């Protein structure tokens, strides 16, 4: 429907008292200097007014033809806006939004009374969106209720899809969705996961720990292992509460790394957690079963979710490092929260390489020393070489570790790896079973092989039966890596 038009062309009728264009063009002094003192010619005045009002009326007609009122109110800025709107059909331009970061209110020069499909606005945001469900209304003074902003095919926004204050956002109203569609989100409209998954920081209250909800768009393998298809699932898992008393296999005053996974339960996303030190497969290449969360959720090698689930595909979305004075009494916040993806997903995390045996500790006479530290990167352990106590590796972060290497002895003997031994002067073969990680008894060449979980504070040593070590043979090597 055309708008109203207050602007009229003056002296445009047949026989109007005006100059012809050719005659008016000869009045160069008048055109250049304007009317001077004295009595002006009515024919000349009428010609000047006809030219200016005719073009103004033409522009106003264009404005009105686009459905906008061309109002004679002296507001040049509004009329300039209306010209831009008329020459760019369907797009309204607005200034900085008011409201909040997640409840945007625009102040449009010509706000709509009702919304029609395809109605488009360009406005400047007040701040980055802090939730996945921000809303927008084109004018807070008119009865148009705020409506959710989505992207693509009705996807919730990711945090900071609206990048920040004064960022220009393009919104189109979709009548079928009854929502605003953001056409220029910071993270695009792909259904695939972001490079680093969002992982909200866990909270603690009443001796329980809560992993808050967050929106995810994740690709899951098929639940049937012999089928290679993948399914994208989008949604927001309910918050997971780790019950007071549940230790998840943690030890008092020792840092634990807790993995957070998202399950695909028939198209519904759900959280589950697992102590990294449990050594469970987190490669996303299989399916997992979970145990219902309770006050006795105390195993490191069990996945816990709010409700027990069986054989579901999963995605690792991150982990957090946390320590509690009393395991199961969730009081202290996590010291590190890391979403999965990007460089955060690369393994191994740390690597230690030692070469050439260098005798024993003088007091710990079954604990070997090493001559060379070829490489020692990462922060998952400390390696100490002591002339008195021998060499030792102290674990700083829980996880899954591998130890591989060869020890060259001058004669047949026994050797391997001991764990937290209180008997550094006792031959490894005589240690309690729980203090032995690796053991071999061969003629000169001892293979060292161990892969499994270790906890913060664990101490691993190359432990032998006391046979003479070959300190000149470069084949003596020990490689240590954290792989999970």
Question: What is the average per-residue pLDDT within 113-129?
Answer: 83
Question: What is the average per-residue pLDDT within 251-259?
Answer: 87
Bond preceding residue 172 cis, omega within 30 of 0: no
Rounded Cα gap, residues 297 and 332, in angstroms: 19
Residue linked to tokens 């956002």: 169
Q: What's the confidence (pLDDT) of residue 347? A: 45
To the nearest whole number, what is the mean pLDDT of the chain?
Answer: 86
Return the percentage of the chain with pLDDT > 70, whole number: 90
Question: What is the average per-residue pLDDT within 415-436?
Answer: 94
Q: What's the confidence (pLDDT) of residue 346? A: 43
> Domains, the chain, ranges and CATH?
21-75 (no CATH), 90-182 (no CATH), 203-345 (no CATH), 350-482 (2.60.120.40)
Rounded Cα gap, residues 364 and 240, in angstroms: 47
Res 311 pLDDT > 90 = yes
Question: What is the average per-residue pLDDT within 264-270?
Answer: 94
pLDDT in tens, 325-343: 999 999 999 998 988 876 5
Rounded Cα gap, residues 286 and 92, in angstroms: 51
Give, in order, the Cα–Cα distances in Å from 231 to each of 132, 156, 251, 269.
22, 18, 38, 12
Q: What's the confidence (pLDDT) of residue 191? A: 47
Rounded Cα gap, residues 57 and 408, in angstroms: 100
Res 474 pLDDT > 70 = no
pLDDT in tens, 50-60: 999 999 989 98
Specify whether the CB–CB gap between 261 and 314 falls below 8 A. Answer: yes
Q: What's the confidence (pLDDT) of residue 287? A: 95
Q: What's the confidence (pLDDT) of residue 268? A: 93
pLDDT in tens, 20-76: 999 999 999 988 999 998 888 999 999 999 999 999 989 988 888 766 788 998 888
Of 162 and 118, more confident: 162
Residues 6+ apart with CB under 8 A from 169: 122, 123, 124, 125, 162, 182, 184
Q: How confident is the model at residue 95 (pLDDT cuts 50, 70, 90)?
A: low
Give, in order, the Cα–Cα distances in Å from 115 to each of 43, 179, 384.
49, 10, 71
pTM: 0.49
Of 377 and 358, more confident: 358
Return the percentage of the chain with pLDDT > 90, whole number: 45
């Amino acid at each position: 429907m055309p708008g109203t038009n207050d602007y009229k062309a003056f002296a445009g009728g047949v026989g109007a008292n005006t100059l012809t264009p050719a005659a008016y063009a000869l009045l160069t002094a008048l055109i250049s200097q304007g009317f001077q003192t004295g009595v002006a010619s009515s024919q000349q005045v009428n010609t000047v007014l006809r030219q200016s009002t005719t073009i103004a009326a033409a522009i106003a007609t264009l404005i009105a033809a686009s459905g906008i009122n061309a109002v004679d109110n002296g507001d040049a800025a509004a009329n300039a806006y209306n010209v831009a709107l008329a020459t760019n059909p369907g797009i309204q331009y607005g200034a900085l939004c008011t409201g909040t970061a997640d409840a945007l209110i625009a102040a449009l020069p010509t706000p709509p009374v009702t919304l029609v499909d395809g109605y488009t606005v360009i406005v400047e945001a007040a701040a980055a969106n802090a939730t996945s469900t921000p809303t927008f209304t084109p004018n807070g003074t008119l009865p148009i209720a705020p409506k959710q902003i989505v992207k693509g095919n009705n996807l919730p926004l990711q945090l900071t899809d609206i990048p920040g204050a004064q960022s220009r956002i393009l919104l189109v109203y979709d009548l079928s969705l009854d929502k605003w569609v953001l056409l220029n989100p910071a993270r695009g409209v792909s259904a695939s996961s972001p490079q680093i998954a969002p992982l909200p920081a866990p909270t603690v209250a009443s001796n329980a720990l809560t992993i808050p909800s967050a929106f995810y768009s994740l690709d899951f393998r098929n639940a049937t292992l012999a089928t290679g298809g993948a399914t994208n699932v989008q949604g927001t898992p309910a918050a997971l509460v780790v019950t007071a008393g549940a230790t998840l296999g943690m030890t008092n005053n020792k840092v634990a790394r807790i993995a957070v996974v998202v399950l695909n339960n028939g198209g519904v996303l759900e959280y589950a957690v697992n102590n990294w030190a449990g050594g469970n497969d987190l490669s996303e290449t299989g399916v997992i079963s979970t145990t219902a969360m309770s006050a006795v959720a105390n195993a490191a090698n069990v996945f816990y979710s709010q409700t027990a689930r069986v054989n579901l595909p999963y995605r690792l979305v991150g982990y957090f490092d946390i320590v509690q004075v009393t395991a199961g009494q969730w009081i202290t916040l996590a010291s590190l929260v890391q979403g999965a993806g990007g460089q955060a997903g690369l393994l191994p995390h740390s690597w230690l390489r030692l070469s050439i045996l260098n005798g024993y500790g003088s007091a710990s006479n079954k604990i070997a020393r090493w001559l060379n530290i070829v490489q020692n990167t990462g922060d998952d352990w400390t390696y100490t070489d002591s002339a008195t106590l021998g060499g030792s590796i102290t674990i700083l972060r829980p996880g899954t570790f591998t130890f591989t290497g060869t020890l060259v002895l001058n004669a047949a003997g026994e050797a391997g790896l001991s764990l937290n031994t209180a008997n550094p002067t006792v031959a490894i073969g005589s240690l309690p079973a729980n203090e032995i990680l690796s053991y071999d008894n061969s003629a000169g060449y001892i293979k060292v092989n161990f892969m499994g979980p270790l906890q913060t504070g664990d101490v691993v040593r190359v432990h032998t039966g006391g046979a003479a070590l070959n300190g000149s043979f470069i084949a003596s090597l020990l490689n240590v890596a954290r792989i999970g």
